[in-house]
Structure 1
Amino acid sequence: MRGSDVRSGSLFSYVNLEVRVRRDHPLRVIREIANAALVSLNEDLEALYPRRLGRPSIPPERLLRAMLLQAFYGIRSERQLMERVEFDLLFRWFVGLGVDDPAWDHSSFTTNRDRLLGGEIAAKFLQAVLAQPKVKRLLSSDHFSVDGTLIEAWASIKSFRRKDGRDNDSSGPGRNAERDFHKEKRSNGTHRSTTDPEARLYRKGDGQAAKLCYMGHVLMENRHGLAVDGGISLATGTAERETALQLVASRPGRRRITLGADKAYDVRQFIGDLRRHNVTPHIAIDGHVRITGKPRVTAIDRRTTRHPGYGVSQRCHKRIEEVFGWIKGSAGLARIKLRGRARVDAAFTLGLAAYNLIRLPKLLAPPA
């Protein structure tokens, strides 16, 4: 018998979201770990919301779970996220909304999100996830890798104007008039973006275009390739090495560790600083030939490269590109839609936590 295509409404709904989500769905493991981490952050979340009269805000736990979904599924805007929460039962279950609960307005969601991003909750959430007992046993405490990547700022190159205001703009209709940069020398010392003043004009290498951007950094443990720390800095030529030292110095304990990195970190001052921090530098050798025809003198010597662990660290270091690839590709942070270093740092750090969570279902699954 052919089924009818006629839709009839019902007076009552008896949908149980817990039943609708299959038992082996990866989000079940992720939600369990995320909820345990949020419980440990209860005091920090309470401090963001002083007790006073007024309407209750969006619960910060639900807000953060919604932000994780935005990273998991690469949802490009808050408006699209709220539309997805409205009709997707899986999203409602993960966030903690009932079937009959209305989704939030996207403007209210954005306002509450900005409060959450400004409270250093992202960094604390990342550490709370890593502190879970079932996650902590996956981490290496001896072998790490570090690297940096460019995060393009949400600002046009046309907004990069002189600080003294003496720009020779061509008059044109509209707010997006033509901008003539011909024969104009631009630098971060004399210019800054009027849209995002903390963004810096930077290019990764010779022959590449200069862009307004920030620099993202990740410290990864080498056993399973999970991000254990990271953040955003201003884009400068020394930011990668300076932030790497900060990440190493902030680690708990003072036992000797190894640190893998690419040849951009092969600088004598940086290598010396690592050794003073009780870190064995497993840095790739920068042996490029100079213009004079002589090879560059490396700061890595045989006392490091002669050990088999040096080659292992170099192989494991390549996995850090998977972290950057997922954050910039799947999570959509290649060009971040936030302005200001603090907010960009919070979104990037939350992206690191989301990357770890998306990896955990397979890492925690029992062997077949």
Structure 2
Amino acid sequence: MRGTDETSGSLFSYVDLEERIPPRHPLRKIRQVVNDALVSLDVEFEALYTDFGRPSIPPERLIRASLLQILFSVRSERQLMEQMDYNLMFRWFVGLGIDDPVWVPTVFTKNRDRLLTTEMSRKVMAAILAHREVAPLLSGEHFSVDGTLVKAWASMKSFQPKVDATPPDDEGPGDPPAPDTPPETEPSNSPARTDPMPGNSHRHRNAEVDFKGEKRSNATHVSTTDPDARLYKKSPGTGAMLCFIGHALMENRSGMVVQGDLTQADGHAERKAALDMIHRHSPGSTRRLTLGADKGYDASGFVSDLRQACVTPHVAQKARYSAIDGRTTRHESYALSQKHRKRIEEPFGWAKTVGGMAQTMYRGIDRVRSRFILTMAANNLARLPRLLGA
């Protein structure tokens, strides 16, 4: 028998949000790990807020909402607030009741900028990795490192010549007007003509620019949209773009990212960031560690710094003038590191296709860095349900 298409007139629901989420939904395990990690950061949150004033967005809910935005590829905070208003699963994950109002997007953005600094993003990642169910999955001795370009939120048209602090004064008070200055005319009594079609005015157009033959470099030019972005390319067959370099340190057992960083783009950034991340993750380690990397890290200075830090450099050899010799390549562990290091491309691919890091929506290296680290933490969370068999 055919059912009737009638509009339900019920105003109230007596079903809890917890019961509406399927028992085997992957977000259940992710939410459990995130909640336990945030409980361990309660002291850190307490130190950031005062005992008086207007209550802010709870930091736990703000971090859950930011992770949800990355996991579900929500492109903006405004769209995130819109979906949280009607998506019961989003409300359940963040911790909002079915009748709780969502936040104003600008209020959410300002609270996020105050809370999710680079240091706090690193603490969130460390708390997730220190979870009692996650820590046994990690290797403490074998790691891989790599970097990827993160396109800046700035166009090539914004890459303009740098302006000197004291520009030369070519025209004095008594100098004649420049040749291209239109001559002055007598004032007219007729009203000024207004264009009824603003779109026809050239002032409203995005001006066309021809860069052919113009030499531009980071020494002479800077982006007016994001001054922290740099013109850079990693391979000779591609075009340069305004970007940052995101870095990740991965442990080789489960392929989890244990450290993340983001720096300005230059030829030495990847090697310097690799040293910083390995020292930050294992400060003063007495155990012999291994670090796998591609040929871009095959530099004598970088290899010697790793050996002084008690780290075996399992770096891919260059065809000529390699700093890696038979003392390293003869061991079977070197071949294993070269096999496992390629898995570090998976977090980068996930971050760009799902996490929104193909082109960042943020400006300024501090904001982009904190977002990149949180995206690496979200990538770890996305893999946990399968790794834990949930």
TM-score range, shorter chain: over 0.9
1:1-368 matches, within 5 Å, as: 1-54=1-54, 56-118=55-117, 120-164=119-163, 173-174=203-204, 176-252=206-282, 253-287=285-319, 296-365=320-389
CA distance in structure 2 between the partners assigned to 1:63 and 1:264 by the alignment: 38
Give a deviation string over 1:127-146, Cα, whole Å, max 9, x none. Answer: 01111121111100110000
Q: Secondary structure at the match of 2:245?
A: strand
Q: Is the 8 A contact 1:146 1:261 kept in 2?
A: yes
Q: Secondary structure at the match of 2:134?
A: helix
Matched residue, 2:172: none
Q: Using CA pairs under 8 Å that are at least 6 residues apart, name the structure with larger relative contact order, 1 or 2.
A: 2
Give a deviation string over 1:39-84, Cα, whole Å, max 9, x none. Answer: 1111222233222222x22211111111111111111111221121
Give a deviation string over 1:215-239, Cα, whole Å, max 9, x none. Answer: 0000000000000001101100110
What is the letter of the counterpart of residue 237 of structure 1? G
Q: Which moved more, 1:58-67 or 1:319-328?
A: 58-67
Give a deviation string over 1:292-338, Cα, whole Å, max 9, x none. Answer: xxxx1211111111111111101100100001000111111110000
CA distance in structure 2 between the partners assigned to 1:246 and 1:12 by the alignment: 55
CA distance in structure 2 between the partners assigned to 1:187 and 1:321 by the alignment: 29
Q: Is the 8 A contact 1:150 1:216 kept in 2?
A: yes
Matched residue, 1:293: none
Give the number of aligned pairs: 353
Q: Can you give the 5+ residue segments of structure 2 that lack an aligned partner in the other structure?
A: 168-201
What is the letter of the counterpart of residue 345 of structure 1? R
How big is the shift at 1:175?
A: 6.5
Give a deviation string over 1:160-192, Cα, whole Å, max 9, x none. Answer: 1111268xxxxx633732334333221111111
How big is the shift at 1:119?
A: 6.3
Percent of aligned pairs with the same amino acid:
57
CA distance in structure 2 between the partners assigned to 1:111 and 1:15 by the alignment: 34
Q: Secondary structure at the match of 2:8?
A: coil
Give a deviation string over 1:86-112, Cα, whole Å, max 9, x none. Answer: 111111110101111122222222121
CA distance in structure 2 between the partners assigned to 1:235 and 1:42 by the alignment: 35
CA distance in structure 2 between the partners assigned to 1:141 and 1:64 by the alignment: 27
Q: Is the 8 A contact 1:151 1:336 kept in 2?
A: yes
The alignment's TM-score, normalised by the length of structure 2, stands at: 0.87
Change (3 A) 1:175 1:52: farther
CA distance in structure 2 between the partners assigned to 1:251 and 1:101 by the alignment: 40
Q: Can you give the 5+ residue segments of structure 1 that lack an aligned partner in the other structure?
A: 167-171, 288-295
Q: Which has the larger radius of gyration?
A: 2
Q: Which moved more, 1:97-106 or 1:271-280?
A: 97-106
